[in-house]
Structure 1
Amino acid sequence: MSTPSRIPGPALAAAVLAALGVLPLVVVAFLVVALGGLEADSGRRDWVSVVLLLLPPLLQLFALGWFLLRRGRVPLVLAALAAIAAGVLVLATAASVGQSVGLGPFVLAVCPVLAAGLAMTPAVGRWLAEARAHRRGRAA
């Protein structure tokens, strides 16, 4: 059985963009939590919002690991959708308090969306399929 091939350019670019995409998501979650943006008037923290803010960067990290282990690319797409949802959450929160933030929150989703797009290229599909075939051949 031959050894697995080297990582193709689009897969490497997708991995780098996925890794870079974690940083803005973590920064936004940290700033909102650290600055007390999730505390109600009573001083209690809104734990549902904390989880919703922490979910996208954690999903992005999981997707990156899954992709680098050559298990699949679907988690990258789900992570991109979660990053878009985080941008929508920021926009909705800003609108509910009367603040205008423009389209800035969607910067959170730029790297994850580009990573998911690159992961869907045929070269990456062949790279992942080769890994699947290699795992099946070793298990048999």
Structure 2
Amino acid sequence: MPRVHQTTPAADGYHMPGEHAPQDEVWMVWPERPDNWREGAAPAQACFAAVAEAIAAVTPVTMAVSAGQYATARSLLPDAVRVVEMSTDDSWMRDTGPTFVVDGKGGRRGIQWEFNAWGGHVDGLYAPWDRDNAVAGKVCE
């Protein structure tokens, strides 16, 4: 389980690196929601596989995939992409994954935001979102 700090990253000397800063790894989530992706998500999966392959040429990529989609993802993704089994509710790692901050001395922390499907029970786009809310902590482990 990731360690929870009682202080803020800024108070501990951490900051968010710029978009241009080198990255150690890129995480993605495999698309599969039938209410979000047409044709059983096959077109989206082909696009995600192509994006992952392009990124993997310069930066390591890890794809989070549900147990039910693991074989499909592994067959469509190149060997250079690491595939890990992880339950999610949707495929937006940018919004559900951790934000990483650094301290300039080699230290790194992942921040887990409270995710509620962009609006919670009132205006959220889907429910449930509890698996998406757990993604950042799993990545940080």
TM-score category (smaller protein): under 0.3
Name the larger-Rg structure.
1
TM-score, with length taken from structure 1: 0.25
The structure with more strand, counted as a fraction of residues: 2
Higher-helix-fraction structure? 1
